Structure 1
Amino acid sequence: MKEENGALTDVVAELERAAGDGEVEVGHLIDALDERGYGPALAVLPLIELTPLGGIPGVPTLLALTLAIIVIRLLMGYDHFWAPDWLRRRKLSSERVKKSLEWLKPISHRIDAKLHERLSRFAGPAARKAAAIVILGLLLIVPPLEVVPFATSGPMIVIAVFGLGLLYRDGLLMLLGFIGSVAAVGAGIWGFTASGG
């Protein structure tokens, strides 16, 4: 498996190639991410929720489920991703996936230009495990938040921050992820309560 220091732009391009034409199975996208490790998966998949694809009902929950399986594998110490066949066979429109990735390209260029390794002790194995536990907690609140417009974006942004922290070995981002997780949970509870859920 490649080191988790590949440029985010390269990861987006790899997913674009994997999307193909017509329809793409979730399994093909997972396999494309598997080549690059946990950091890129935890950075890119949550960002997809912020694209037009994330506005489709059920997609945030599908992303949350996929991410949860990946994070559990991370906690268990596996090098490679795994997903059940029913999830791998789930199909998405290639055109919609490509449009979402196209939307991400300028963002990925800016991120690549700004982020780098720093405070790496906060991005080490212990921080990685702690982040995985926090991410699982955030993913649990995504499905119920789907009833509140845009509410799933908060947890997904925080998960993406953790993913970028792992991708670039950026301890500052990891610390921001821990702080942001508290804010995301608070905002999610408030939004869910305010909507009458």
Structure 2
Amino acid sequence: MPPPHPEPLSLNDVLDDIAYKADNDDTPEKLTLGEVLDSVGRRTYGPILLVIGLIAVSPLTALPGTTWFVAALTLLVAGQMALGMKRIWLPRKARDMGVPRDSVKGVVEQGRRFANGIDGLLKPRLIFLSRPPFVNFVALLVIGAALLTFPLGLIPLAPLAPGMAVVFFGLGMTARDGLWLLLGALAVGGAMWLALPLIF
């Protein structure tokens, strides 16, 4: 049975699809990362970036090494976005990574607290920013956010800045809302400001 929103257009849509997968999966204890990402589709970059961004700003990153793993996953997805690949490829090792079902449901519930308010602010505007050639520049900014996560991962809570940038980019691409893509660019700028003392 397909998820409720084969082509998610909002944060609520993405959360609905993840919740549906968590409630209807055959495995009792955990989901794989591939299953979570497949629940929102692997032909559209917006929902995938949004899911990765939500993981990046969730308590799941308290697990050692998770912050850098999510950053590497972001790099991989954004690189394919920059190249204009039609279907997103993930290595089997990443797809098979187990995610506790309760943790997935926890991320969904956390997202629900903000989803209605955020979705009320989303609408198609400045749509050209979500299309080539501008979308390639967006992809480069996502790559920048992922790269900044590596040095910022040495500081508690600092990776939230690039993580929020990825969330904004995911929202903007999902809803075709260029304003949120611009907010993502500003968030990358803020992350760069935080990272500069660590880099130089």
The TM-score, its normalising length taken from structure 1, stands at 0.86
Higher helix share: 1
Distance 1:27 1:119 in 2: 32
AA aligned opposite 2:29? G
Distance 1:147 1:97 in 2: 25
Q: Aligned-residue CA RMSD in angstroms?
A: 2.2
Residue 13 of structure 2 is aligned to residue 6 of structure 1: no
Partner of residue 99, structure 1: 106
**1:126-141 residue pairs with structure 2 within 5 A?**
126-141=133-148
Distance 2:189 2:172 in 1: 17
Of stretches 162-171 and 52-61 in structure 1, the one that deviates more from structure 2 is 52-61
Cα deviations across residues 13-59 of structure 1 (Å, max 9, x unaligned)?
Answer: 21123234301111111212325611111123212222222322222
Contact (CA 8 Å) 1:4, 1:36: kept in 2 or not? no
| Aligned pair partner of 2:21 in 3, 9, 18 | 18
Kindly, what percent of the aligned residue pairs are identical? 28
AA aligned opposite 2:120? A
Partner of residue 43, structure 1: 50
Partner of residue 152, structure 1: 159
Of stretches 170-179 and 86-95 in structure 1, the one that deviates more from structure 2 is 170-179
The TM-score, its normalising length taken from structure 2, stands at 0.85
Distance 2:45 2:149 in 1: 20
Give unmatched runs, 5+ long, in structure 2: none
Deviation of 1:3 after TM superposition, in Å, equals 8.4
AA aligned opposite 1:136? I
How many residue pairs end up in the alignment?
192
Distance 1:3 1:120 in 2: 21
Contact (CA 8 Å) 1:23, 1:93: kept in 2 or not? yes
| Aligned pair partner of 1:79 in 86, 102, 105 | 86
Residue 163 of structure 2 is aligned to residue 177 of structure 1: no
Q: 1:62 to 1:16 in 2, by over 3 A?
A: farther
Give unmatched runs, 5+ long, in structure 1: none
Distance 1:47 1:56 in 2: 15
